[in-house]
Amino acid sequence: MSTMSGVVAVNTFREAVRDRVLYNLVFFALLMIGAAILVGQISIGIDRLVIVNLGLSAISIFGLVMAIFIGVGLVYKEMEKRTLYSLLAKPIRRWEFLVGKYAGLVLTLAINTAFMTIGLAAALFYVGRPFVRSDASILVAVYFILLALALVTAIALFFSCFSSPMLSTLFTLGIYVAGIFAGDIRNFGALTKNPMMKGVTSAIYYLVPNFHNFNSIAAAAHGEPIPFALIWQNTLYALLYIVLLLVASSAVFSQRNLK
Amino acid sequence: MMAIPVLFALLFVLQTRIDARAQAEAQAQEELMLRSPAAIEKMSLGYNSLLADVYWTRAVQYYGERFATPHATFGLLWPLLDISTTLDPKLLPAYHFGAIFLSQSGNSGADRPDLAVKLVKRGIAANPKRWGLYADLAFLYYWHFQDYKDAAAAYLAGSKVADGPAWMPIMAARMEQKGGSIDTSRLVWSQIYESSANEKIRKMALDTLKGLKAEEDEADLNNLADQYRQRFGRFPSSFAEMRDAGLLRGIPVDPEGYPYVLGADGKTSLDPHSPVVIPEVPKTPPPLPKD
């Protein structure tokens, strides 16, 4: 990442902090404290399971909301406030600006996720459970959530290069949901026995980002090990898709008439 | 600014009235808007594990509200457990809970041992290395269907699991040889009591064990009354007479400390005030569920 992108990234992070985005951590902390106190009384022997499920799901949902609602405004806000023009007047190329904005939001999400993970660990500690080796799967699940969030941010950034925040939100959410159901979409095509339908649904399956790949919440909740092969495959998948989206975003943004 | 607390107070009063009416209606018509586990799984958008916990907690609360309530029905217990275990097939406590409370009758359960078997078999398919599920299946076959052969097979299958306890093959042999005896029933319920972490299940097991003890005591006391009649030509009129005849050491009491009642025909029964209940085994067991 170039120096200019780095500067843009740090400023994007500072902007997010100034916008009090990290205050969601307070709500998350309250949620985990409440869950830790209540869960033992109502969950009949599955307190660890409930806390891990609740904690990881909250990390995922909070992160998703941040990635979409901040991501769709990354470029649009700069254009609205007219700050983009003074920025691009400086020796920074358009793609460096985009990469910097993207990296800044991903940095915000990573820090947010890290604090939430600490909160989750504290809740597990409170219910009196010692940490065991199988808890490593919780960290892997958090890592997968972060990969998914980085991918969603890239999608949101892509749409924000040419669309309004409202439409970008809808498109990003739509792609996310399609990515969750990608497997089912392909299965529907296979069930129809129509070769063209099978082809179309298979194409959709491989085109949309398969977000279900990154879902390991259930495995982490049950303390099951996550294979190393899945870790590097998911990392590579996310990296490739993010690069693809950033290249596409740069292509669209560089052609855009900003007047 | 004063208006805000006043408005909140009014909202509080209004909400309690709405809740009271909703509660009355809810008890009249049990409602679960979405019953399809597959549909709920799709709608969960990947958060199926968390939703499973929500439905499981709801199942436990649903049962707890109705337990020991006269004329209570448990119509939603199966759908709630079905959804929980579809969303999270590894939710082991749900299978154990369902094995006991789906199968129990009266105001203790849904009286659907067939659904309990279906649930536990699904649990075994998803978790084949959990010996506890085989023990639950064996219990259902033994207690509710009097199918000692399938009960023995379930115990045997459980004993072959990696950490299967040593008592499982013994139980399998017991089923084959002495299925239906009070001793065997006591062993089955003792294992449930010792292996369950659920307080309600442990209490149910303990109550059943007390009932089995009372049943055994009644049979023994009836035998002793027959012996008295053979010796003296008439049934004893009290336990004191049996004690004086050397047939008893003292006045027998049930597991809750209530003295047994001796009838004029020499038959012993429980004190009407005793909380002990002798478990009823259906004379004609229900049909086994088809696979």
Q: pLDDT tens across A71-110, in order? A: 888 887 777 777 777 777 777 788 888 899 999 999 999 9
Task: Output the pLDDT for position B285.
Answer: 60
Contact A16, A22 (CB under 8 A): yes
Is residue B168 within 8 A of residue B187, CB to CB? The reply is no
What per-residue confidence (pLDDT) applies to B30?
60
The full set of domain ranges for chain B reads 42-204, 217-291
In angstroms, the CA A136 to CA B222 distance is 62
Q: Judge whether B42 is closer than 8 Å to chain A, CB to CB.
A: yes
Q: How far apart are CA A155 and CA A166, in angstroms?
A: 14
Question: Per the CB < 8 Å rule, is B46 touching A45?
Answer: no
**Predicted local confidence at residue B124, as pLDDT:** 96
Q: Does A45 touch chain B (CB under 8 A)?
A: yes
Could you tell me the CA-to-CA distances from A173 to A16, A183, A211, A228 in Å, in that order? 21, 17, 12, 29
Asked if the C-beta of B50 comes within 8 angstroms of chain A's C-beta atoms, the answer is: yes
Nearest CA in chain B to A184: B42
Using the beta-carbon criterion (under 8 Å), do B93 and A53 form an inter-chain contact?
no
How far does B47 lie from chain A, in Å, by closest CA? 7
Sequence ranges of the domains in chain A: 3-255
Between CA B191 and CA B180 the distance in angstroms is 16
CB contact under 8 A, A54 and B50: yes
pLDDT of residue B4: 80
Would you mind telling me the total number of residues written for chain B in this entry? 291
The verdict on a CB contact (< 8 Å) between A46 and B93 is yes
Confidence of residue A255 (pLDDT cuts 50, 70, 90): confident
Task: Name the A residues in 165-224 with CB < 8 Å from any B CB.
Answer: 177, 180-181, 184, 211-212, 215, 217-218, 221-222
Distance CA B231, CA B245 (A): 10
Contacts of A61 in chain B (CB under 8 A): 47
What is the 3-class SS of B101-138, one letter each residue? HCCCCHHHCCCCHHHHHHHHHHHHHHCCCCHHHHHHHH
CATH number attached to the domain at B42-204: 1.25.40.10
Q: How far apart are CA B149 and CA B274, in angstroms?
A: 35
Test A217 with B47 for CB contact under 8 angstroms.
yes
Q: What does the alpha-carbon distance between residue B184 and residue B171 come to, in Å, rounded to a whole number?
A: 8
The answer for B 86-105 residues in CB contact with A (under 8 A) is: 88, 90-91, 93, 97
Q: Which residues of A touch B61 (CB under 8 A)?
A: 42
**Which residues in chain B have Cβ-Cβ distances shorter than 8 Å to A184?**
42
Q: Which residues of B touch A50 (CB under 8 A)?
A: 53, 57
Please give the span between the terminal C-alpha atoms of chain A, in angstroms, as a whole number: 28
Q: How far apart are CA A77 and CA B56, in angstroms?
A: 44
Q: Which tops the pLDDT comparison, B77 or A259?
A: B77
Identify which of B42, B57, B93 has the shortest CB distance to residue A42: B57
pLDDT at residue A1, rounded to an integer: 59
Amino acid in the structure at residue A56: L
Which one-letter DSSP state was computed for residue A190?
H
**Tokens 């009949």 found at:** A44
CA distance B186 to B2: 66
Separation of alpha carbons A31 and A11, rounded Å = 30
Q: Are B239 and B262 in contact (CB under 8 A)?
A: yes
Task: For chain A, give the percent of residues with pLDDT over 70.
Answer: 95
**Considering only CA atoms, which of A138, A169, A153 is closest in space to residue A107?**
A153
Mean pLDDT, chain A, integer: 85
pTM of the model: 0.80
Tell if the CB–CB gap between B57 and A54 is shorter than 8 Å: no
The shortest CB-CB distance from B48 to any of A46, A60, A218 is to: A218
Q: What's the pLDDT tens digit per position in A209-244?
A: 999 889 999 999 998 889 999 999 999 999 999 999
State whether B53 and A50 contact (CB < 8 Å). yes
Q: Do B197 and A42 touch (CB under 8 A)?
A: no
Return d(Cα B190, Cα B67) in angstroms, integer. Answer: 22
Q: Residue for token digits 């549909």?
A: B39
CA distance A25 to A58: 11
pLDDT tens readout for residues A141-150: 999 999 999 9
Q: For B54, which residue in chain A has the nearest alpha carbon?
A: A50
Mean pLDDT per 10-residue section of chain B, whose length is 291 residues? 81 78 61 77 87 90 84 89 94 93 87 94 95 94 90 91 85 78 86 86 90 92 94 92 91 94 92 90 61 54
Residues of A whose CB is below 8 A from B198: 44-45
Contacts of B47 in chain A (CB under 8 A): 57, 60-61, 217
- Which pLDDT score is estimated for B283? 54
Mutation test of the interface with chain A: which of B44, B45, B49, B96, choosing the one with the most A Cβ atoms within 10 A? B49
Say what the pLDDT of residue A243 is: 93
A178 CB-near residues (< 8 Å, 6+ apart)? A185, A204, A208
pLDDT score at A69? 87
> Tokens for A118?
């600490």
B88/A42 touch (CB, cutoff 8 Å), yes or no: no
Strand partners, B268: B262
Q: Are the CB atoms for A211 and B46 separated by under 8 Å?
A: yes
What number of other Cβ atoms are within 10 A of residue B88's Cβ?
A: 26
Dist. CA B53–CA A50, nearest whole Å:
6
Structural contact between residues A94 and A85, judged by C-beta atoms closer than 8 angstroms:
no
Closest Cα in chain B to A211 = B46
Containing B144, the helix (H) or strand (E) segment is helix B131-145
Residue of B157, B50, B132, B139 lying closest to B103 (CA atoms): B139
- A212: chain B residues, CB-CB within 8 Å: 46
